[in-house]
């Protein structure tokens, strides 16, 4: 990493100019066919349109950007060297300090998320957006088990999300199951799919898993689109029942023999009640997920995941059954995705295969990668960022996936740990470790 970010020596201005010129030249070659030229529809036939102004602007931006980047890198490098010389704090101390900040941040975020619907109790937009953020947080935490902890790249995570959503949709519309009855069954269903898919593939090297899951996500979508008798095809399933508050419906008037939420508590009916209830529901689900995953990390199986991520061959040599360990991570990740899918179906009341495309998988993966694989708080941060960016305007929404892709590459190149990196083992031998770090600090 350091070889990339920090050149072996600081560059002279002339070198920087030459470097930027070279990058701009490459940019020019790459830009001519895609930016400089474009084909447009002219009366039923294609015609070529030139955009050399735009190309020139883009190249100038690349040139200036590269120049600036090089300069910034040299500056950062100098500063880092000075800091290293001046301070005696070890990397472990700094990581410890950062961890404390993250913990405080976590409590603040928790408080804010509990208070949010109370403060914005009549702002539908805010509560809705916050609910979306929480769905992505939950999905991110689920995928984090697979990618962040066990180090398996799953590119079809949305398939399990879809399995959960369709399980609930079909169980409730066809068999009249309630949300709470369907939730565990749908989760188990998603986990079963995870095991069925993972079992043959997880014995092989990790790269294959990536492409097979990619294919699996696509298969599920194709089946949902084409098998109309089962899933109603591209039209999707509508009028999925909403969850009720212990049997109290969130409607204006209750059906025979039951009461409405507003009526029971003597409140005036408001459609916001349901939204706020849904918000708290996903908040509770997400927090349960968090607690579950945090506990798992400290159990032998969680430690085995982290060990596997670091060195598979060493794990095998230690006599660990790598297939089963990977399978457990994969199945638990799938189950959490299934839970999120159930909530998604219950919240929307309508699902169709369009909600479960590869783009969705890519967004969830981007959340995990950007947040820092293995970091729970990082996922929250990244999910908030990625959901809010497109809300700032149509332009942002258009460039969203472009920026995600770019960010994934840049993060990998610049900071493979992610925004809040957490590659420290969750459990370590405390007494030994403290002794070692104090010794290092006093030296």
Partner 1 sequence: MAYALQQLINGLTLGAMYGLIAIGYTMVYGIIGMINFAHGDIFMVSAFIAVTAFTILAAADVTSIPLALTFVLIVSIFFTSAYGWAVERTAYRPLRGSTRLAPLISAIGMSIFLQNSVQLTQGARVKPIPPVLEGGIVLWDAPGFTVQIGWSQMLIIVTTVILMSAFTWMITQTPFGRQQRACEQDRTMASLLGVNVDRTISFTFMLGAALAAVAGVMVTVYYGVVDFFIGFLAGIKAFTAAVLGGIGSLPGAMLGGLLIGLIESFWAAYLWAEYKDVATFGILCLVLMLRPSGLLGRPEVEKV
Binding site for partner 1 (CB under 8 A): 1, 3-4, 26, 29-30, 32-35, 37-41, 45-48, 147, 151, 153, 155, 200-201, 204-208, 210-212, 214-216, 218-219, 222-223, 226, 313, 358, 362, 365-366, 369, 373, 398-399, 401-402, 404-409, 412-413, 416
The CB-side HSE value for 76 (13 A sphere, CA atoms) comes to: 10
Q: Which is nearer to partner 1, 38 or 426 (CB)?
A: 38
CB of 44 to partner 1, least distance (A): 9
CB of 6 to partner 1, least distance (A): 12
Residues 6+ apart with CB under 8 A from 376: 106, 141, 144, 290, 293, 294, 422
CB of 46 to partner 1, least distance (A): 5
CB of 229 to partner 1, least distance (A): 14
Instruction: Retrieve residue 347's tokens.
Output: 């919240």
Residues facing 39 on adjacent strands: 48
Rounded CA-CA distance 246/207 in Å is 45
Q: Which is nearer to partner 1, 13 or 405 (CB)?
A: 405
Q: Which is nearer to partner 1, 104 or 410 (CB)?
A: 410
Rounded CA-CA distance 281/284 in Å is 5
CB of 64 to partner 1, least distance (A): 18
Instruction: Retrieve residue 229's tokens.
Output: 């008798």
Q: Which is nearer to partner 1, 2 or 442 (CB)?
A: 2
Radius of gyration of the chain (CA): 25
Among candidate residues 101, 112, 238, the one with its CA nearest the CA of residue 166: 238
Beta-strand runs (E) in 375-418: none
CB of 363 to partner 1, least distance (A): 10
CB of 164 to partner 1, least distance (A): 21
Q: Which is nearer to partner 1, 4 or 86 (CB)?
A: 4
Cβ atoms 155, 215 nearer than 8 A: no
Residues 6+ apart with CB under 8 A from 214: 155, 156, 358, 361
DSSP state letter for 411: H
CA distances from 46 to 38, 54, 55 (A): 10, 21, 21
Q: Which is nearer to partner 1, 105 or 389 (CB)?
A: 389
CB of 215 to partner 1, least distance (A): 4
CA distances from 25 to 7, 176, 224 (A): 21, 64, 47
Q: Which is nearer to partner 1, 108 or 412 (CB)?
A: 412
CB of 285 to partner 1, least distance (A): 27
Rounded CA-CA distance 39/424 in Å is 51
Q: Which is nearer to partner 1, 28 or 254 (CB)?
A: 28
Q: Which is nearer to partner 1, 212 or 262 (CB)?
A: 212
Collect contacts of 218-223 with beta carbons under 8 A, ≥24 apart.
218/156, 218/358, 219/159, 220/156, 220/159, 220/162, 220/163, 220/356, 221/159, 221/162, 221/353, 221/356, 221/357
Q: Which is nearer to partner 1, 37 or 301 (CB)?
A: 37
Rounded CA-CA distance 189/165 in Å is 11
CB of 219 to partner 1, least distance (A): 5
């Amino acid at each position: 990493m350091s070889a990339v970010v920090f050149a072996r020596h600081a560059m002279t201005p002339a070198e920087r100019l030459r470097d930027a010129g070279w990058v701009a030249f490459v940019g020019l070659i790459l830009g001519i066919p895609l930016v400089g030229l474009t084909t447009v529809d002219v009366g039923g036939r294609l015609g070529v349109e030139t955009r050399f102004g735009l190309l020139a602007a883009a190249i100038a931006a690349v040139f200036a950007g590269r120049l600036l980047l090089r300069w910034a890198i040299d500056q950062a490098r100098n500063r880092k060297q000075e800091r290293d010389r001046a301070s005696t704090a070890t990397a472990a101390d700094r990581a410890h300090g950062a961890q404390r900040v993250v913990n405080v941040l976590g409590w603040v975020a928790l408080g804010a998320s509990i208070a949010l619907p109370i403060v914005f109790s009549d702002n539908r937009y805010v509560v809705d957006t916050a609910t979306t953020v929480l769905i992505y947080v939950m999905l991110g935490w689920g995928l984090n088990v697979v990618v962040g902890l066990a180090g398996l790249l799953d590119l079809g995570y949305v398939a399990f999300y879809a399995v959960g959503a369709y399980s609930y949709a079909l169980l409730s519309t066809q068999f009249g199951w309630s949300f709470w009855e369907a939730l565990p069954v749908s989760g188990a269903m998603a986990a079963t799919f995870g095991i069925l898919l993972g079992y043959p593939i997880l014995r092989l090297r990790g790269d294959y898993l990536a492409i097979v899951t990619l294919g699996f996500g696509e298969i599920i979508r194709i089946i949902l689109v084409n098998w109309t008798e089962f899933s109603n095809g591209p039209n999707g399933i509508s009028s999925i029942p909403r969850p009720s508050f212990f049997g109290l419906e969130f409607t204006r008037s209750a059906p025979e023999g039951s009461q409405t939420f507003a009526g029971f508590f003597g409140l005036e009916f408001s459609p916001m009640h349901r939204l706020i209830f849904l918000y708290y529901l996903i908040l509770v689900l997400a927090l349960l997920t968090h607690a579950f995953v945090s506990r798992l990390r400290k159990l032998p199986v969680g430690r085995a995941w982290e060990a596997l991520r670091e060195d598979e061959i060493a794990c095998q040599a230690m006599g660990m059954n790598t297939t089963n360990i990977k399978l457990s991570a994969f199945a638990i990740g799938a189950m959490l995705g299934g839970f999120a899918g159930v909530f998604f179906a219950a919240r929307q009341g309508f699902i169709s295969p369009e909600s479960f495309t590869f783009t969705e998988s890519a967004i969830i993966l981007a959340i995990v990668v950007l947040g820092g694989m293995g970091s729970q708080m990082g996922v929250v941060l990244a999910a908030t960022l990625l959901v809010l960016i497109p809300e700032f305007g149509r332009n942002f929404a258009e460039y969203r996936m472009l920026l995600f892709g770019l960010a994934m590459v840049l993060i990998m190149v610049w900071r493979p740990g992610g925004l809040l990196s957490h590659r420290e083992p969750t459990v370590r031998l405390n007494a030994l470790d403290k002794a070692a770090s104090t010794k290092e600090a006093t030296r």
